[in-house]
Amino acid sequence: MLFRPLRLLLVLACLAGLTYAQKPSTDREGPGPNQDPPRSSDAAREAGDSSSRDSIIDLKPPRNDAKDHPNSSSAEDEYDQNQEFHVWDPHKADKNVEVGDYYFKLGNYPAAASRYREALQYQSNHAIATFRLAQSLEKLGKTDEAIQYYTAYLKILPHGHDAAEANKAVVRLKEKLTQEQAREHEPAAAKSNTPPQK
Please write the tens of the pLDDT for every residue from 46-98: 555 555 666 677 778 788 877 887 776 655 555 555 555 668 999 999 999 99
Domains and their CATH numbers in the chain: 86-189 (1.25.40.10)
The three-state secondary structure class of 38 is coil
CA–CA dist 129, 137 (Å, integer): 12
Q: How confident is the model at residue 32 (pLDDT cuts 50, 70, 90)?
A: low
Q: How many residues does the chain have?
A: 198
Distance CA(198)–CA(188), nearest Å, equals: 20
| Distance separating alpha carbons of residues 81 and 152, to the nearest angstrom | 18
Mean pLDDT of 178-189: 80
Residue from 155, 181, 192 nearest 170 by CA? 155
The reported pTM is 0.55
pLDDT 10s digits, 103-125: 999 999 999 999 999 999 999 99
In angstroms, the CA 120 to CA 123 distance is 5
Helix (H, G, I), strand (E, B) or coil at 96: helix
- Residue 70 CA to its chain's centroid (Å): 22
